[in-house]
Amino acid sequence: MPFIHVEVLEGLSTEKKQELVKEMTDMFVRIAGAPQERVFIFFEDLKRDNYARGGSLVSLLPPPSTAPAATGNEGK
């Protein structure tokens, strides 16, 4: 407890996920009084042709004009 499911666009690196895991776990221990070993986090990598926003699959959206940093988070 807690159980945290994170859906994020495919492309987020393992290093970034581990950074998020560390900070989120510390935060729930500090704010919600959760025992550290009972903080569970699950990432789900959303494929661009399985995730849609505003009436279109992200894979079919025109690429954003500026080239964002290589975080794999284009078209969020």
If one asks whether residue 65 binds a second copy (CB under 8 A), the answer comes out as no
Tokens coding 75: 């078209």
Q: Smallest gap, in angstroms, from Cβ of residue 41 to a second copy?
A: 4
Do the beta carbons of residue 70 and residue 8 sit within 8 Å?
Answer: no
Let me know if 35 is a catalytic residue: no
Q: Which of residues 23-52 bind a second copy (CB under 8 A)?
A: 23-28, 31-46, 49-52
CB within 8 A of 24, min separation 6: which ones? 4, 39, 41
Residue type at position 50: N
Residue 56's CB is within 10 A of a number of other CB atoms, namely: 11
Binder of a second copy out of 14, 62, 65, 66 (CB under 8 A): 14
| Catalytic positions, written as ranges | 2
Contact residues toward a second copy (CB under 8 A) are: 1-9, 12, 14, 16-28, 31-46, 49-57, 59-60, 68-69, 71, 73, 76
